[in-house]
Amino acid sequence: MEFRHRSVLLDETVNGLSIKADGVYVDGTLGGGGHAYEIAKRLGEKGSIVGIDRDEAAIEAAGIRLKDFGERVTIVRSNYCEMKSLLHHIGIDKVDGIVLDLGVSSYQLDTAERGFSYREDAPLDMRMDRRQKMTARDIVNEYSEMELYRVIRDYGEDKFAKNIAKHIVMARGKSSIETTGQLTEIIRQSIPMKYQKKSGHPAKRTFQAIRIELNGELDVLRESLDDMIDILNPGGRLCIITFHSLEDRLVKSAFRRNENPCTCPRDFPVCVCGNVSKGSIITKKPILPGKEEQEYNSRAKSAKLRIFERR
């Protein structure tokens, strides 16, 4: 299947980078290369972009899409949490802009055998990096009821998390849960029908929660934010698109902390902690997709873009 992914907030993100023709840029979630392509188009002969992704299908697709830019593009199969050391390894210590487009790609959702979608029956997989041994099947069949409840409650923000976890444990007591179809049916039985009718697909939140847990998405983001700000040149920008309230909260909090790191009590007349601001938040409120984009790309509806500029 061809790697197709409609980049969300494409113009807003690329414009938000304030690209310099001779700058160095990083796309930490390369995907099909949508954002990277638009960035590369704006670069001169001395400009360059590094694309990082852990999905082999994304790496292959982006390589084809970006091949005309030649040596200006470097593609690495890895996780963006390794960005600082990866860049250092290829002789780059500072960059002029970084893009992260978080969440799951259209390709991953639409490729049934990857096991991300609750709309197709396939093996429970959900790995963004298929070199990883653990799959969604392991979480569903091996996590305790309490652990499943925590994952679905925290990452899926589902009010029926306790009941869903209970039903999963009951079902796997009879036989192991192997497919997305089986899991979807168990979730359906866990949620009152009157609620299902008005709240979209009943499995959406649980599938999202398991995917986030399996791929360590929030941990990776939390551990990477300060490093990414640190490797920006003065005037360099970090643009992050989130699709989940917990992701957005992490980004918002990290941007605020780096803008105003002072830990002194508010009634102190002068700062004595010595913490110095690393830059400023460009987006006081997140940039949201316009009505037109939301209409032609339903996956854009929950997207939020925040931008930070290094001092």
Answer yes or no: is 123 within a domain: no
- Token look-up 């009152």 returns 192
264 and 204 belong to one structural domain = no
Among 243, 242, 276, which residue's Cα sits nearest to residue 260? 276
Query: Which of 215, 239, 261 is where one domain is finished?
Result: 215
Answer yes or no: is 184 within a domain: yes
CA dist., res. 311 & res. 99, Å (int): 18
* Token pair in block for residue 276: 């110095």
Element spanning 85, H or E: helix 83-89
Angle CA(257)–CA(259)–CA(263) in degrees, nearest 5?
A: 50
CA dist., res. 85 & res. 91, Å (int): 10
* Token pair in block for residue 196: 């299902």
DSSP E strands: which ranges in 144-251?
A: 232-242
CA dist., res. 206 & res. 121, Å (int): 16
Answer yes or no: is 3 within a domain: no
- Please identify every stretch of the chain with a pLDDT value under 70, giving residue numbers as ranges: 1-6
pLDDT tens-digit profile of 87-114?
A: 999 999 999 999 999 988 888 888 999 9
* Token pair in block for residue 39: 């960035």
CA dist., res. 74 & res. 72, Å (int): 7
Q: Coil, strand, or helix at residue 285? A: coil
- The amino acid that residue 221 corresponds to is L
In this predicted structure, what is the pLDDT of residue 5?
55
Tell me, what CATH number does 223's domain have?
3.40.50.150
In the chain, the number of structural domains is 2
In this predicted structure, what is the pLDDT of residue 56?
95
Backbone φ and ψ of 163, nearest 5°: -70, -40
245 and 272 belong to one structural domain = yes
In this predicted structure, what is the pLDDT of residue 200?
83
pTM: 0.94
Q: Coil, strand, or helix at residue 25? A: strand
Tell me, what CATH number does 209's domain have?
1.10.150.170
CA dist., res. 106 & res. 103, Å (int): 10
Answer yes or no: is 68 within a domain: yes
Residue numbers of the domain that contains 103: 10-107+217-310
Query: Which of 198, 215, 232 is where one domain is finished?
Result: 215
Q: Are 203 and 177 in contact (CB under 8 A)?
A: no
In this predicted structure, what is the pLDDT of residue 53?
97
* Token pair in block for residue 105: 């790609």
Q: Are 152 and 168 in contact (CB under 8 A)?
A: no
103 and 222 belong to one structural domain = yes
